[in-house]
Structures are given as structure tokens and as C-alpha cells.
Structure 1
Amino acid sequence: MKKTCVNYKLLFLDILDKKYPEKKESCRNILKKQELSILDIIDLNRIIFGCIDQERSRFDQNHRSYNESSVFQILDYQKKHKLNNSELARHFKLSRHTVRKWKNRYQI
């Protein structure tokens, strides 16, 4: 089976062009980057779609997946901002158990 990568930059540009042209300027700095990180994607999603209701948020959270580089970026964010596991979990809407599991797996 062939694994495909999603071109998030193109996807967000299409969404901005077709549905939210007024928000394009506020996303410009992030979209200028050569490659988007998972943190950039989360920021773009928040800027474009804003707050979502609790039911939708729960559904989205159940369908998120993180690759190894995303996990390292999130854990680096924790170090950079001096957050504990609970604060990091709240910020990224993760469980504390997930954060602890990542830290144990990657021995950070």
C-alpha cells in the first residue's frame, strides 16, 4: 500500500481562497514557511476556524495522530515554555497519560 502525504499548505490555501479570504492576511506568516510543522497546522486551524463546540472538539481529538517529529516538537514546546505535563496536555488538548507515555517512550 502506498503512503501519501497531505500537502497542508495547499489545503489551507485552498480553504482560505474559497471560504475565508478575509483571514488570508492573518495566516500569511505561517504559510510563507517552506514546510508546516504540526504546531503550524494547529495554529492555522485555530485562526481559520476559531473555537469549535465541545462535541466537535471531542470528535476531532479522537482522530488526531502524531508522528515522531510532531511528538518531539510538542515536547520541545514544553521545555521552551517550562510547562508541566498537565499544562502541556491542556494546551494541546491531550491527555496527561499521552504526554507521560511519550516522555517514557522517547526517554525525555
Structure 2
Amino acid sequence: MGRVYTVFDKFSIICIFVGLALGLYLATHNSDSDLWMKAISFILAFSLVLTVAPAFSAILAAIRGDEKISIFEIVEAFLLNVAMTGVCTAFGLVFGSLIFGSIIPSNSVIFK
């Protein structure tokens, strides 16, 4: 297991909490028409920021001569950050919509 994955595992729980919080925010503030683009931009920017730490640790390990830099591992860490944050955002949106009652599918109540 490379240095990128070791550091990535420690930061992955942050993606889950931020994704759930973003989903709950989307469930309560869903009247903004530009909110989805802001959410996607936030997910991409947040994932990029969380990918910097594993990439930086891999670069430092390569400078010290411990291991080689793998661009594939860094890109994979970024995509996994995007996926974890996005999926948790979707779960937060669904559960928040059910809790707050902000989305009513097919013009009826979900549970009758």
C-alpha cells in the first residue's frame, strides 16, 4: 500500500461528514436554482483540497527516496474523494428531504 493510500484512508471520514452536511444543506435550502452547480463546484474543490495532503506526502516520500510518485494513485484518490463526497451528499439530500419534508414525489405524500 502506497503512501497516498495510507494518508487517504485517514482523511476519508472527513468526506463522509462533509457530504452528509452538504446533503442536509441542500435539503433545507432547495429554492436556489443555482444551488446544484454550487454543490458540484464545492464537491470538486473540496475533493481537490483533500487530495493535496496525500499527494504532498507522496512527493515528500519520493524526495526522501522511500518510494516513487504514482500519478495514478493521486488521480484515484481524487476520484474516490469525489465519489465519497457525492454519494454522501445524495444520501444526506434524500434523508434530509424525508425528515424536513421538502421534496414530495409525484405530488403526494411518501408515506400515507
Q: Which category of TM-score, normalised to the shorter sequence, fits these structures?
A: under 0.3
Higher helix share: 2
Larger Rg: 2
- TM-score with structure 2 setting the length: 0.24
